[in-house]
Amino acid sequence: MYSYIDNFLIYLKTEKNASPRTIESYQKDLFLGLDFFASLLRKDDHAILPADLDYRIFRRYLAFSQQKGHSRATIARRLAAWRSFYRYLGREGIADENPAARLSTPRLEKRLPRFLYEEEAKLLVEAPDLNSPLGIRDRALLETLYAGGLRINELVSLDQGDLDLGAGYVRVMGKRARERLIPLGRQAVKALINYMKNGRLQLLMNASLKKTNDTAKTDAQKPNNAVFLNRWGERLSGRGIRKIVDKYVKKVSIERKISPHTIRHSFATHLLNAGADLRSVQELLGHASLSSTQIYTHVTGERMKQVYRKAHPRAKE
């Protein structure tokens, strides 16, 4: 079973263009399930075959997860991982049926996405100090996140050829290798031009100082096409971007948990608040289904209620 799982994870990466976090999550969920099945069947986990698992075993797995107090979201995610795995096995001719498909997904509570108010978003993107290369980079990074509503993996993957700053566009490769062009506002374009001319060049110069042996020097001198670099001139990682966002959230004293994805939520919410139509926001976010975008209508609806209750003289009585 482990070899099938390994091939499935490779398939997710190479053919589905899944993010590293998604692949890591699938791997963890599948390995945890395999441990339970091995214990239940009293077999070594390496000896389990896809045909050994049927829907009754998966029902017991879900019941076990509920008894352990796992959230509905966690149980639903684990079931989704096994469904996706068995769909892959079916396409490969390894499994005849998908036993996980016969089970109902636990009903999830609808959670409204966190978002920044417009004043908070402005404070956040303008927080970096533009007197240092890292500050110039951080300003461009935050402006791009907010102006384009990019996913963190999309931001990490940006190369110089993806930018058309003259026209004010960035090309993004999203989920399932779907490409989209996203317009950038004037402030984001200005910040990116400053970064590409100043901050990024300085960070590339730092790359030559990172290593001292000859082999490392050769590696450091290879051309790096990434837009956003770390202090050593290498492609900035998703973890690095999260640290940058955390740094400036703390700096501007926002007392809520804010992530790069929160900035994406803010992008969509602010567009809808300003009158953008749902279909356009769907295209900008790269959602395959309009239903994924509709959650933001609930956010804007709640915002309208708050404004109404605060402003209307008869709403407070």
For residue 51, the domain's CATH number is 1.10.150.130
Q: How high is the mean pLDDT in each 10-residue block of the chain (317 residues)? A: 92 85 91 92 90 92 90 89 94 91 75 81 94 95 93 92 93 80 92 94 78 47 80 91 95 89 89 83 80 69 66 66
Q: Are residues 232 and 258 in the same domain?
A: yes
Q: Are residues 90 and 196 in the same domain?
A: no
Active site residue: 78, 83, 200, 264, which one?
Answer: 264
Q: Among this protein's residues, is 137 annotated catalytic?
A: no
Q: Are residues 92 and 125 in the same domain?
A: no
Q: Among this protein's residues, is 87 annotated catalytic?
A: no
pLDDT score, position 303:
63
Is residue 42 within 8 Å of residue 35, measured between CB atoms?
no
Active site residue: 72, 122, 180, 261, which one?
Answer: 261
Active site residue: 86, 146, 195, 296, which one?
Answer: 296
Rounded Cα distance between 144 and 59, Å, is: 45
- Please report, in angstroms and rounded to a whole number, the separation of the first and last CA atoms in the chain: 64
Q: Are residues 126 and 84 in the same domain?
A: no
Q: Are residues 76 and 176 in the same domain?
A: no
Q: Among this protein's residues, is 264 annotated catalytic?
A: yes
pLDDT score, position 19:
79
Helix, strand, or coil (residue 151): coil
Boundary-marking domain end, from 102, 131, 162: 102
Q: Of 208, 203, 236, give the one whose Cα is nearest residue 221.
A: 208
Q: Are residues 187 and 41 in the same domain?
A: no
- Work out how many domains the chain is built from and give that number: 2
Boundary-marking domain end, from 44, 76, 102: 102
Q: Among this protein's residues, is 175 annotated catalytic?
A: yes
pLDDT score, position 205:
83
pLDDT score, position 26:
93
Q: Of 7, 1, 18, give the one whose Cα is nearest residue 88.
A: 7
Q: Are residues 14 and 151 in the same domain?
A: no
Burial annotation 5-18 (CB, 10 A radius, 16+ → b, else e): beebbebbeeeebb
Q: Among this protein's residues, is 296 annotated catalytic?
A: yes
Active site residue: 151, 200, 265, 270, which one?
Answer: 151
User: Interior CA angle at 103 toward 101 and 108, to 5°?
Assistant: 110
Range of the domain at 130: 118-309
Rounded Cα distance between 53 and 166, Å, is: 56
Q: Are residues 140 and 43 in the same domain?
A: no
Q: Which residues, in sequence order, are CB contacts of 261 under 8 Å at separation 6+?
A: 151, 152
Active site residue: 175, 190, 210, 235, which one?
Answer: 175
pLDDT score, position 31:
93
Q: Among this protein's residues, is 70 annotated catalytic?
A: no
Per the domain annotation, does 233 fall within a domain? yes
Q: Are residues 123 and 97 in the same domain?
A: no
Helix, strand, or coil (residue 49): coil
Per the domain annotation, does 41 fall within a domain? yes
Q: Are residues 83 and 159 in the same domain?
A: no
Q: Which residues, in sequence order, are CB contacts of 209 under 8 Å at separation 6+?
A: none
The model's pTM: 0.65
